Chain A
Amino acid sequence: MGNDQNGDAIRSPWSEAMAANTANIVQNYLNTSVGATLNFTQNWKFDIDYTFSNQEEMWKRPGTRYTARNSWSGPVAKADSNGQPVYVDSTGNVVSSSAQGAMRAFNLSLDTYTGLGSNPDHIFRQVTNYYSTTLNAFTTYNLDLNNDNHFKFILGLNRVAATTEWQSQQQNQLTDINNPQFNFAVGTPPIIFGNKFWESQLGYFGRINYAFANKYLLEGNLRYDGSSKFPSRLWWRWYPSVSAGWVISQEKFMDWSKNFLDVFKLRASWGSIGDQTVPNTLYMPLMSSGLSGWIGASGNKVPFVGTPPATVADITWQDIESKNIGVDLGFFNNQFNVTFDLYQRNTKNMIVPMEGIPLAFGVSAPPGNFGSLRTNGWEFTLDYNHRFESGLGINFRGNLSNAITTISQYGSSSLVNSNYNGKTFGEIWGYRTDRLYQMSDFDLDANGKLQLITLTANEVPAKYVGQKSIQIKTGANGESPVYQTFLQNSANFFFGPGDVKFKNLNADSVIDAGASSLASHGDLEKIGNSTPRYEYGFRIGADYKGIDFSLFFQGVGSRQIWGDGFLAIPGYNSADGAMPESFADYWRPDNTGAFYPAAYNNLASNAANNMQVQDRYLLNMAYLRLKNMTLGYSIPQQALKKIGSSSARIYFSLENFITWDHLRGLPIDPEYINGYSMFNSSNYNLGRTGMGIPAFKSVSVGLQINF
């Protein structure tokens, strides 16, 4: 994989992963908890617990300089040991220069292509400390008026205070790339950063539970929450919630079902809570600081402090209001259980940028509580356990859920690729692909050549007049040709044989995006959604006489993404060199039924020319994966007594072994999220699809012994 004919690695993510020194993150956790329960009376108790937590994370990134056959630079003509040019035929066999079809042989040049001191030629280490103290205290009072009327009262508080502190050091230019150490890095000056944050939340709550005869359940909550993230007069907010349950199976009129139905419960709730997961600086006019590009009389850069941004003075909590109804069912002595929940979650006062601020304001629009989101979803779980008299036990547990989030209020934009009001989160707008053009679609000249014409008002609307296109034949029934000049993004790209023919959804005379707005989106349409839908998982297990076996599957029913980078987009950038083997099925005069279009270099664009966002090349990220398969054997108790062990089990397990996907053999992990890696949660590898570290396949054999 990835080696050239000399056996040297070709520059690629694979070669770099192979040559890289191992980066690592070490996390240490220390938690100290103290707790107590005081029973004042039989019905009145007081619970308190206090936790001090110290997390420490050390992230070390020893870099290197990469050396490989460099596919990003021009190849070098090959010569033999006597310095004579080497010739090959079309299959790569060395032939004499006079042979039929002989051509010069080339090598990719073997370069150390990482510049001295440029990324990743460095050693980097970052240490983060996270301290938090949590105090939970609440007092509970149970009141039973009689056998049927039960009350419970709770009053309590939660208090969290946390501090994060980190610093990092990086020194460029390693003198020893095999043993990267700070002492062996000579780049000056060392690059040092650090920061410290703190935040706190305090909440008081009260709760009343009421149960009547275990049939009717009611609960009411009231919270009073404060957060350090807002200006002092907006620290505190009230949040109420209520829920009710009805255990129908307890009713007299359900007695007929007692022999198979154990639980039948209906639930409903409404509640509002505060979301304060925003930076704690939104309301504060912070001033950045640093060193200016102005060198003062001392010969050093002068320090500067920047302009504070505009802030909305009354910024406050985002509110999450949720509604839920559910049902719980249990059958056959609770061997078979089903639950179903339907919910709606409204995020109100969502913090989004203010609209309508002209440039004369002199600074970007401040964010405030101007937006809202709505999520509708449902969850379903089912489990079944049974043990046969023979001793064979079987179990099944599965879940399925789905949620759709809609932007209910953001601003006034109606552009399809902006956050317009009513947009479904994750939706992808693109073209519908008809097919690939063939030679027979075009009007040829007397010599059988394609003709490049300048379009006139007879063919296209005024705004495209004067653009060039290859002349298309009039349809069999006299239909006028539909030109796609709008989609020709490169100066020398013209839609011709082997290129993508898009569907003319709005039945005009061109393929275009209109105004890219809801009112006028030309031939664009919603073609998919990048949010995972119908997420499911199920576990099947069985055990018999100490032998246990289980399978755990996980999958996503629907998810599409428009890829980025050379693993997803054919012709993404020819300078990137290697590309997936699946792309070999591209259109050529001898392969007119190809899946991919004719080859063209899109110069690092993932939405240009043939590869406009469209349904044909949209990646279908739905998958089913066997996450885990385990076979185990528990050694009988008698055999263990001799070694003083209470239990022992040997097992064999496979992780991520089988995946069913729809990616046509592209080397992309369907669980992968663009820009995500083990160490980064955004922009990893410029967000190129499939370039992170995929889920590993692993095999393990183990022995668990308890004494």
Chain B
Amino acid sequence: MKHIFKIVIIAAIFFSCNKNLLDRPPLTSYVDNQTGYWRNEDDIRMFANGFYTNYFVGYNQAWGTDYAPVTGYTFQDDITGTNVQSNFESTIPSSRGSNSESAAWMAQYAGPTWNFAWVRKANLFLNRIDSVAKPKISDDAYKHWMAVARFFRGFEYSRLVSVFGDVPYYDRVFKETELDALYKDRDARTLVMDKVYEDFQYVLANMRLNDGAQYLNRYIAAGIISRLMLFEGTFEYYNNIDQTRAQKYLQMAADAAQLVITSNKWNFGSDFKSLFASENLAGNPEVLMYRAYDATQQVTHAVGSYSNGNESQTGANLVLIKSFIVNDGNVWQNSMVPNANSFSIGDLVKTRDPRFEATFIDRPIGASSSLLYSFKHASRDVLNFIGITPPIIWGSNTNTNDAPIIRLGEVVLNWIEAKAELAERFGGTAISQGDIDKSINAIRKRPLDGTAAQRAFKKRQI
């Protein structure tokens, strides 16, 4: 008995102060669980920000050109390189896959490789908003962020379908032990796109109309939805996959575009050159959303350099030249404009719609494989530096001109095309002159920039 006191002391030392000793979660990382994240709307917004540079790529960043207009899309019929064109890919997806999150693609696909990282990210986002964040945020916020997540999921599946056709559809995150999901067969394109359609319906009904400048809102989403749905509707119609679905998708394309147009928030007050070559697109009346570049933030791109008149370029070919209308509004074969049938670059610049002049340098440039050099993504300033070192904003990967992500010009064209398809193929309302004036003609009536105006373009006849 005399040792009891000693035993108690020893036991006390052994078992005290140890209760929470082993509970040491990471201190400097967010943890994806009930308490570690998804605490409020700010958390949700920060997660959503992780999608932006992959879906609103603009001119990409640093040396990257994936998804960047023209410079990235070199696998197409409108431009011709001097080398053998790369082969069309028919490799099985497993050798062309990835699970990393980067805005990387395969030029031959003009879209993603066999990569489901973004599908998982969107599904995880949806799950966490629904299962963790929902009680902590307002109903309006819940609907908005669910719409944001569903928009990105629909966007990703649209891209995957555009490349691969049938793909396995997942509407949830699954575990490494769920073999049925892991080794699931591809789902039919029509099934996948119906799911995308449902997502977009939710987006068009629930996303906020305004979530702050440069953040995704319903108008921006609608503009992009009109693009994706126009593609799918026409693809399914012309490949004779499913006429009913084609009509449904085209109708959504027209409706989504209509939402943007009838809002009257944007107009064609900007000249064409400024859309692609200006340092700041804030306040540009045609642009719904743009990607900003800023050297002091170390966010710069190289797309302007590929337009600077020095850097070699895969040049526009005759097919593309012929597709430009003449400035009287006719195709070149029907135009009465003098020299409309001349294909000298000097004449083309004078006779074609002014967008030609804003896109191409007015003389042959050897750096282009076809001698016709596009400087669409660089300002007129670069013309002073052909053959000599350009200033840093037009050289190397230090370009800072902003990139339009979605602009009214594209939305009205999606709209008029979808309406025309619906009218011609599915007995929809016929296109009126008013529709044409609101879209195709509105674009052609854009103001000219100072230089273009000085070049004394003829008053366009509409």
Interface residues of A (CB under 8 A from B): 40, 44, 46, 48, 137, 139, 157, 159, 161, 195-202, 204, 226-228, 232, 235, 280-281, 284-289, 292-297, 299-308, 310, 312, 354, 357-366
Q: Are A362 and B53 within 8 A (Cβ)? A: no
Residue contacts A-B, CB under 8 angstroms, 23 given = A157-B14, A159-B21, A197-B26, A202-B21, A202-B22, A232-B22, A285-B31, A285-B33, A286-B31, A286-B32, A293-B53, A294-B299, A296-B215, A297-B213, A303-B49, A305-B43, A307-B117, A307-B124, A359-B97, A359-B98, A360-B182, A361-B99, A362-B99
Q: Are B50 and A306 within 8 A (Cβ)? A: yes
Nearest CB on B from A224, distance (A) = 11
- Among candidates A196, A300, A357, residue contacting B28 with C-beta atoms closer than 8 Å: A196
Task: Beyond the given A294-B214, A301-B299, A362-B173, please list 4 additional residue pairs across the A-B interface where CB-CB is below 8 A.
Answer: A137-B14, A295-B297, A297-B213, A358-B94
Interface residues of B in 76-105 (CB under 8 A from A): 93-94, 97-99, 101
Q: Are B13 and A48 within 8 A (Cβ)? A: yes
CB nearest to B167 among chain A residues: A360
CB neighbours of B50 from chain A (8 A): 292, 304-307
Nearest CB on A from B380, distance (A) = 25
CB neighbours of B282 from chain A (8 A): 297
Give CA–CA (A501, B389) in the complex, Å: 49
Q: Are B116 and A362 within 8 A (Cβ)? A: yes
Interface residues of B in 10-48 (CB under 8 A from A): 10, 13-14, 18, 21-33, 37, 43, 46-47
Q: Are B22 and A200 within 8 A (Cβ)? A: yes
Give CA–CA (A97, B299) in the complex, Å: 54
Nearest CB on A from B117, distance (A) = 5
- Among candidates A198, A302, A354, residue contacting B52 with C-beta atoms closer than 8 Å: A302
CB nearest to A306 among chain B residues: B50
Q: Are A198 and B24 within 8 A (Cβ)? A: yes
Interface window among B200-208, B243-251, B286-294, B305-313: B286-294
- Among candidates A137, A280, A294, A296, residue contacting B24 with C-beta atoms closer than 8 Å: A280
Determine whether B376 belongs to the interface, using a CB cutoff of 8 Å to chain A: no
Interface residues of B in 165-190 (CB under 8 A from A): 168, 170, 173-176, 181-184
Give CA–CA (A312, B175) in the complex, Å: 9
- A299-B116 in contact given A289-B30, A354-B176 (Cβ < 8 Å): no
Determine whether B427 belongs to the interface, using a CB cutoff of 8 Å to chain A: no
Q: Are B98 and A358 within 8 A (Cβ)? A: no
Q: Are A304 and B47 within 8 A (Cβ)? A: yes
Interface residues of B (CB under 8 A from A): 3, 6, 10, 13-14, 18, 21-33, 37, 43, 46-47, 49-50, 52-53, 56, 61, 93-94, 97-99, 101, 114-121, 124, 168, 170, 173-176, 181-184, 212-215, 282, 291-294, 297, 299
Give CA–CA (A235, B22) in the complex, Å: 7
- A360-B184 in contact given A139-B10, A200-B22, A294-B56 (Cβ < 8 Å): yes
Q: Are B26 and A302 within 8 A (Cβ)? A: no
- Among candidates B43, B117, B184, residue contacting A362 with C-beta atoms closer than 8 Å: B117
- Among candidates A46, A202, A307, residue contacting B6 with C-beta atoms closer than 8 Å: A46
Q: Are A304 and B46 within 8 A (Cβ)? A: yes
- Among candidates A199, A285, A361, residue contacting B176 with C-beta atoms closer than 8 Å: A361
Q: Are A227 and B22 within 8 A (Cβ)? A: yes
CB neighbours of B56 from chain A (8 A): 294
Give CA–CA (A161, B181) in the complex, Å: 42
Give CA–CA (A201, B10) in the complex, Å: 20
Q: Are A365 and B32 within 8 A (Cβ)? A: no
- A366-B24 in contact given A202-B18, A204-B14, A361-B99 (Cβ < 8 Å): no
Q: Are A295 and B293 within 8 A (Cβ)? A: yes
Nearest CB on B from A304, distance (A) = 4
CB neighbours of B32 from chain A (8 A): 285-287, 308
Nearest CB on B from A138, distance (A) = 9
CB nearest to A199 among chain B residues: B24
Give CA–CA (A289, B117) in the complex, Å: 17
Nearest CB on B from A342, distance (A) = 36
Give CA–CA (A364, B117) in the complex, Å: 9
- Among candidates A202, A235, A297, A307, residue contacting B121 with C-beta atoms closer than 8 Å: A307
CB neighbours of A294 from chain B (8 A): 49, 52-53, 56, 214, 291, 299
CB neighbours of A354 from chain B (8 A): 176
CB nearest to B101 among chain A residues: A307
Nearest CB on A from B43, distance (A) = 7
CB neighbours of A287 from chain B (8 A): 29-32, 37, 47
Give CA–CA (A339, B351) in the complex, Å: 98
Give CA–CA (A306, B48) in the complex, Å: 9
- Among candidates A48, A286, A296, residue contacting B214 with C-beta atoms closer than 8 Å: A296
- A284-B31 in contact given A139-B10, A199-B24, A359-B93 (Cβ < 8 Å): yes
Q: Are B182 and A358 within 8 A (Cβ)? A: yes
Q: Are A357 and B46 within 8 A (Cβ)? A: no
Q: Are B22 and A228 within 8 A (Cβ)? A: yes
Q: Are A289 and B46 within 8 A (Cβ)? A: yes
Give CA–CA (A284, B32) in the complex, Å: 8
Q: Are B29 and A307 within 8 A (Cβ)? A: no
Q: Are B117 and A303 within 8 A (Cβ)? A: no
Nearest CB on B from A697, distance (A) = 44
- Among candidates A40, A281, A364, A366, residue contacting B26 with C-beta atoms closer than 8 Å: A281
CB nearest to A188 among chain B residues: B296
Q: Are B119 and A362 within 8 A (Cβ)? A: yes
CB neighbours of A281 from chain B (8 A): 26, 29
CB neighbours of B25 from chain A (8 A): 284
Q: Are A359 and B297 within 8 A (Cβ)? A: no
Which are the 6 A-B pairs with shortest beta-carbon distances? A362-B120, A297-B213, A362-B116, A308-B32, A295-B292, A285-B32
Q: Are A292 and B10 within 8 A (Cβ)? A: no
Give CA–CA (A302, B294) in the complex, Å: 13
Q: Are A295 and B22 within 8 A (Cβ)? A: no
Q: Are A299 and B292 within 8 A (Cβ)? A: yes
CB neighbours of B43 from chain A (8 A): 305
CB neighbours of B116 from chain A (8 A): 359-362
Nearest CB on B from A47, distance (A) = 11
Nearest CB on B from A118, distance (A) = 14
CB nearest to B123 among chain A residues: A362
Nearest CB on A from B164, distance (A) = 12
CB nearest to B293 among chain A residues: A295
Give CA–CA (A359, B56) in the complex, Å: 24
CB neighbours of A289 from chain B (8 A): 29-30, 46
CB nearest to A365 among chain B residues: B176
CB neighbours of B61 from chain A (8 A): 293
CB neighbours of B124 from chain A (8 A): 307-308
Give CA–CA (A363, B14) in the complex, Å: 44
Q: Are A359 and B94 within 8 A (Cβ)? A: yes
Give CA–CA (A287, B125) in the complex, Å: 12
CB nearest to B183 among chain A residues: A358
CB neighbours of B99 from chain A (8 A): 359, 361-364
Nearest CB on A from B429, distance (A) = 39
Q: Are B46 and A303 within 8 A (Cβ)? A: yes
- A297-B176 in contact given A235-B22, A281-B26 (Cβ < 8 Å): no
Q: Are B97 and A200 within 8 A (Cβ)? A: no
Q: Are B29 and A297 within 8 A (Cβ)? A: no
Give CA–CA (A202, B20) in the complex, Å: 11
CB nearest to A354 among chain B residues: B176
Give CA–CA (A331, B12) in the complex, Å: 49
CB neighbours of B22 from chain A (8 A): 200-202, 226-228, 232, 235
- A232-B23 in contact given A295-B294, A364-B99 (Cβ < 8 Å): yes
CB nearest to A310 among chain B residues: B176
Nearest CB on B from A20, distance (A) = 27
CB neighbours of A198 from chain B (8 A): 24, 27
Give CA–CA (A297, B280) in the complex, Å: 11
CB neighbours of B14 from chain A (8 A): 137, 157, 204
CB neighbours of A361 from chain B (8 A): 99, 116, 120, 174, 176, 182
Nearest CB on B from A594, distance (A) = 40
Q: Are B29 and A286 within 8 A (Cβ)? A: yes
Nearest CB on B from A238, distance (A) = 16
Q: Are A280 and B26 within 8 A (Cβ)? A: yes
Nearest CB on B from A162, distance (A) = 10
